[in-house]
Amino acid sequence: MASQPNSTLPNHGAVQMLNPKTEPICTPLLIDSIGNTPLVDISVLADKPEIKLLAKLEGSNPGGSVKDRPALYMINKAEESGELTADKIILEPTSGNTGIAIAMIGAAKGYRVKLVMPACVSMERRGILEAYGAETVLSPGCQMTDGAIRLAHKILDQEPDRYFMPNQYSNPNNPLAHYETTAPEIMQQTAGEIDYFVAGMGTSGTLMGMSSFFTKYASQVKVIGIEPGLGHKIQGLKNMHEAIVPEIYEQQKLAQKIMIEDETAYEMTRKLALEMGLFVGMSSGAAVAGALRVAEQIDSGTIVTLLPDRGDRYLSTNLFRSQCALCPP
């Protein structure tokens, strides 16, 4: 006997799912879920009634960091220009997040990926890269990201036709990703009510892209860069006096630079987790500490800061660990 239609089906959506003739509404690819991250209110930290402090949670991207955006742009544009073809290996020097983003997108699109990074990057980052099937090459830890950059270029120079190097430090599609996605999202999420944008300086892609956008569409917004101190240990950030200066970096695009020391960044990172429920990375602590310095300098206004990644990427470091191991940090 033919089975009877179930008259108790709960709703139209369920009926659609069960009807084989109905077209699927939309099935986006993984890479389509990059961007459109939340903006949350953390004004309570500034503790000034006329100041709004908002944080863009880039750890909500599918690869877990802000770097999904430039990685996708650099790969898509290279496919469009013909620079990246199916037979090439994507090769990049990266301290981790860009590598994770490239490894994720490479796996999703079917490319081989080789990443060069300092031996000192956290175990979680390397573990994630290997899970995506990327090959990792380690440069001396004491030379930090600059050592990885030099080694990656050496590998490229030996066999230039075998590789495509996105080169996030000089690729204009890195800032373009922020110009075309991060900045318009923030404008929409704040309804254009923004006076300051504060973010850490790594490749400077975030700051350069945001600055170009605001210069064109909302020139009242001051873009402020957070720079770590000399000899710092904040993964993802660069002190421009001691590092190879990225080609995309233009200091005049910043209204101001604020220096944040490592311990200040770490303390703020722990406070964000403990008091705000925001489990983020150490460069996020630096960005919020910098945004609070801005808040100290003004009486009113809206400050937006960007939190590049999540805290789970730093669990093997001492960042969230109790010093004596007897009580919680």
| Site for ligand PLP, rule CB under 6 A | 67, 97-98, 200-206, 235-237, 281, 283, 308-309
Task: Tell me if residue 283 is catalytic.
Answer: yes
Between residues 51 and 115, which has the closer beta carbon with respect to ligand PLP? 115
Between residues 138 and 298, which has the closer beta carbon with respect to ligand PLP? 138
What is the β-pairing status of strands 89-93 and 112-118?
Answer: parallel
Between residues 162 and 279, which has the closer beta carbon with respect to ligand PLP? 279
Instruction: Enter the tokens of residue 251.
Output: 């200091």
- Whole-number Å distance between alpha carbons of 287 and 198: 7
Q: How far is the CB of 246 from ligand PLP (least distance, A)?
A: 8
In the sheet with 256-260, reading across from the earlier edge strand, the strands are 39-41, 51-57, 301-307, 196-200, 222-228, 256-260
Between residues 51 and 210, which has the closer beta carbon with respect to ligand PLP? 210
Q: How far is the CB of 275 from ligand PLP (least distance, A)?
A: 21
Catalytic option among 52, 56, 67, 238: 67
Q: How far is the CB of 115 from ligand PLP (least distance, A)?
A: 13
- Whole-number Å distance between alpha carbons of 191 and 312: 32
- Whole-number Å distance between alpha carbons of 304 and 196: 6
Instruction: Enter the tokens of residue 210.
Output: 């945001």
C-beta nearest to ligand PLP: residue? 236
Between residues 195 and 309, which has the closer beta carbon with respect to ligand PLP? 309
Alpha helices in the chain (DSSP H): 12-18, 68-81, 97-109, 123-131, 144-158, 173-177, 183-189, 205-217, 262-276, 282-297
**Residue 210 vs residues 59, 174, 220: alpha-carbon distances, Å:** 18, 11, 13
Between residues 28 and 231, which has the closer beta carbon with respect to ligand PLP? 231
Q: How far is the CB of 162 from ligand PLP (least distance, A)?
A: 25
Q: How far is the CB of 235 from ligand PLP (least distance, A)?
A: 6
Cα torsion 293, 218, 76, 166 to 10°: value is -40
User: Which residue from 38, 205, 57, 67 is spatially nearest to 125, judged by alpha carbons?
Assistant: 67
- Whole-number Å distance between alpha carbons of 78 and 7: 53
Instruction: Enter the tokens of residue 236.
Output: 């993802």
Q: How far is the CB of 168 from ligand PLP (least distance, A)?
A: 7
* Residue numbers annotated as active site: 67, 283
